[in-house]
A and B are shown apart, each in its own frame.
Chain A
Amino acid sequence: MRTHLALGAAALTAALLVSGGSAVAVAAQPGTDTDIGVDVDITSLTPPGALTMTVAPGRATLTENGSTDTVRQFTGSLPQVTVTDTRTADQVASGGAWYVLGSSSAFTAEGGATIGADHIGWSPRLVSGDDTSVSVGGDVGTSLDPNTGTDAATNRGLVDKELLALGDPQSVPDGGVSSTATADLTLKVEPTVKAGTYSAVITLSLFE
């Protein structure tokens, strides 16, 4: 009996010591140091002092790819969009960051059939550029994707303005920086959708 009591007390003390110790350790945890040196090749981009968008030629054709019995899937990719920021610090509005937002119209076919913009999603990615001065937006799923887990909130399609890329003017090196982004597009429709040639317009807007 006494041994058991002693064991219990010892276990409790040990648990308290460990948790207390970890509490102290947590309290003493130093701030994360993210001061990482970045080497940037600085090439003078001409002309200076402007926020320029360059859109590569190309089609955003969607072709059927990976359809199942329950979902027909069409994939493609957006033309590459390059944003070049050569503005100096005093040209940039305080706290202002440039961003490219995208939204899609509904897909319409001759005869009036439509597919809502919630059926098209995208997955932005950086083609070239320094990811310290630019970040791409998160994936946006379609309304036919399962609404489970953390993706549920973003499975809404390109109905509203979704972020393609976001530039950070604070980390623009002298001489400017150029970033190229694109996005993989996915259109998902029900197998019962009426056959036809559908078309839509994706609007990419550069604002700051």
Chain B
Amino acid sequence: MRALLGRLLLAAMVAMSTVLIAVPPAQAAGSVSWSVEPVTATGDATGHAWAELTMDPGTRRQQYLRVTNRGAEAVVFSLSAADGYFTDAGRFTMLPAGRTSVDAGTWITLPASVSVEPGASAVVPFTVDVPTNATPGDHLAGVAAGIFSEQDTVGVESRIGFRVLTRVTGEVAPAVSTTATADYHPSWNPFLPGRLEVRLSTRNTGNTRLAAQNEIAVTGPLGLAARTSRADPLPELAPGDERSSTVVVDDVWPLFAMTAVVATTASDAGGNGEGVTATTRVTVPAVPWSQLLVVGCVAALLALALWDRRRRRRHWAAMVERAREQGRRDAAAGVWTLAIAVLVVLGTLAMTPSSARASEPVGVTVEISPQPEPVVTPASPGTGQALAQTGAPSSALLALAGVAVVGGGAVAWTISRRREARRASPPPLDSSS
């Protein structure tokens, strides 16, 4: 009891000696250097960066902060307490001087300012009064000591503070909920998987500060190609806070429809109680365009190759057929040629009727004229006059006709061969198709 009284007296003396009542906002001519920390009543460091209190409604607790002036001049520091909150990045801060606190900031009572000599420090007591109607759970506030820089058009209030986190007893229950949307980003490269970008919004629906973490399981239809990704822990959430985050799940193959199941595990950042979980799912279309393109290209090439082969086979068949036709025609021509040749030969033979053989079938009775020398010589058509006159016209005609037919046949054959050759070589229009 005596110790307590003594401590209170000491605190009061410290407070009396350092607090100046009704000073204007602290002004500083030179540079000001100071630090602020939570301490015990005797001015020892608490070992914590901020104050965490668990209190029943309607109770009061005394706390202490120390302001150390590390500059060269005595400075009057303004002291303030205000509602605390987390920024989107999860950084704690408290409302600026111009804003009115409505929650735990109003529970704190502390002197308006403190004057500290250079190189000295002051322990300033402050009280936390929890109203009787305070809701159970965590309530955030901060205390700070600061200065106003010389004021002109823009005044600068600089302050150093620490958190005063009060947990009001009662039904303390952490709770969390998460909503998700997602987009699939395929890779242009058919051999590389794409990535699934999941945008999450996690909300603290309970009444405690929350440490939350999201885990995302991505699966295709029938649970194929499952991938999980654990996101970084979210910045701390005060009750009612909502944090947006984006999680990119890499190496996700597109299987037409991918489902992301988001499991949020959250636990009381105050360190008590069990964790809570919340699950949500989102399905996004993931069409494997680049892979389909490759398959399409291969299929098209195969189809083209098949079609080309068939066309080629048809062409060959036609060629063979044409060649056969040609062969038949050539054969007929050959027969004709042969016939003509035979005719020519016969004709030629007929032109030598005076030969021994020729006389044989004709050898009938011949009235031999009294001319001295009967013609027996196998003369040329020009020589044997009498005989030539009888046989010559028909055999010469035959020979001529034969030569004409052979020549004509040869010309026709050559022409037809040429035409064939021209037809066989691919015309330019066909090849470009």
A-side residues, CB < 8 A to B, are 1-2, 5, 8-9, 12, 16, 19-20, 22-24, 26, 47, 50-62, 76, 78-79, 81-82, 84, 91-93, 96, 99, 101, 103-105, 160-161, 163, 185, 197-208
Contact = CB atoms under 8 A, between A and B. Distances in A.
Contact of A199 (B91, B155, B162, B191): B155
Contacts of B151: 199
A101 B91 contact: yes
B interface, size bucket: 35 or more
B209 interface: no
A50 B158 contact: no
B394 interface: no
Given A22-B189, A62-B154, A50 B298 contact: no
Contacts of A55: 28, 31-33, 147, 149, 156, 158
A126 to B, nearest CB: 17
Interface string B72-108: 0000000000000001010111101110000000000
Given A2-B308, A20-B191, A26-B192, A202 B150 contact: no
B92 A207 contact: yes
A60 B98 contact: no
A26 B308 CA distance: 38
B33 A54 contact: yes
29 contacts: A2-B308, A8-B297, A8-B301, A12-B298, A16-B191, A22-B189, A22-B192, A53-B160, A54-B70, A55-B156, A56-B31, A57-B31, A62-B154, A76-B154, A91-B45, A93-B49, A96-B49, A101-B87, A105-B96, A163-B89, A185-B154, A200-B153, A200-B154, A201-B97, A201-B154, A203-B158, A206-B161, A207-B93, A207-B142
Contact of A201 (B156, B192, B311, B433): B156
Given A24-B191, A78-B156, 13 more contacts: A12-B301, A22-B189, A51-B35, A52-B34, A61-B152, A61-B154, A62-B154, A76-B153, A197-B153, A204-B159, A207-B91, A207-B142, A207-B162
Nearest first, the 8 closest Cβ-Cβ pairs linking A and B are: A23-B191, A203-B96, A54-B33, A60-B154, A93-B49, A59-B152, A19-B189, A52-B35
B424 interface: no
Given A47-B70, A201-B156, A16 B94 contact: no
B335 interface: no
A interface, over-half SS = mixed
Given A5-B305, A53-B160, A103 B96 contact: yes
A208 B31 CA distance: 22
Contacts of A50: 35, 37, 68, 70
A78 B22 CA distance: 28
B48 interface: yes
Contacts of B163: 207
B132 interface: no
A60 B149 contact: yes
Contact of A205 (B48, B144, B305): B144
A58 B70 contact: no
